[in-house]
Amino acid sequence: MSDIITLTYKRLPDRINYFEQALLFENSDIIITTQKISPSSPIIFNGKEVLADNYTAIWFVFTDLWYDIGKIFNLENEWTGYYCDIIMPVTRNETKFEIVDLFLDLWVSPEGGYAIQDEDEFEEAVINGVISQDITNKARTTLDNLIDDVIDGRFPPKIVKDYNSITSF
């Protein structure tokens, strides 16, 4: 059985959620966890539901990068694509880790199509001064670089592409 860790998920300016996740793997570069997800709304891509309640996510949180990647599986355990959160680099201790979400997200289909998510929330946060100009620039650059990687076939990283184990949670 996997260890259970707690993710502290901060959404600026003051929203904090706690998620328990099964720890699948961890080293100094990456944390891999899994959980059943409950998104605020489903994601429909090319007319097909690709992310919804009780889907399984395998999360890849890179300790020094400004994004994470969720490999998403539907209720039949079929892989539907990748969900990337633009975040500040993770902070962690033995049983907890913390993510500060920077609003922007990217959906990437198995075929390499993509859609930017939550851009309106990001723009509202920028207008309201919730995030600094430096963080705003870093978030946009990170998203642009991810999109370039998708277009050029460099996305996802090998560890994400090759990891297919779903652990019940």
For 126-155, write each residue's pLDDT tens digit.
999 999 999 999 999 999 999 999 999 999
Q: How confident is the model at residue 1 (pLDDT cuts 50, 70, 90)?
A: very low
Return mean pLDDT, the chain: 92
Global pTM value: 0.93
pLDDT per residue over 19-67, tens digit each?
Answer: 899 999 999 999 999 999 988 889 999 999 999 999 999 999 999 999 9
In sequence order, what are the residues at sequence separation of 6 or more whose Cβ sits closer than 8 angstroms to the Cβ of residue 112?
A: 150, 151, 153
CATH classification number, 3-162, choose in 2.40.380.10, 1.10.3720.10, 3.30.420.40, 3.40.50.12140: 2.40.380.10
Coil, helix or strand for 156?
Answer: coil
Q: How confident is the model at residue 96 (pLDDT cuts 50, 70, 90)?
A: confident
Q: For the stretch 106-137, what's the b/e string if a residue is b when 16 or more beta carbons lie within 10 angstroms of its beta carbon?
A: bbbbeeeebbebbeebbeebbeeebbeeebbe
Half-sphere exposure of 125 (CA within 13 A, CB side): 23
Q: Identify the DSSP state of 53.
A: T
* Residues β-bridged to residue 106: 84, 116
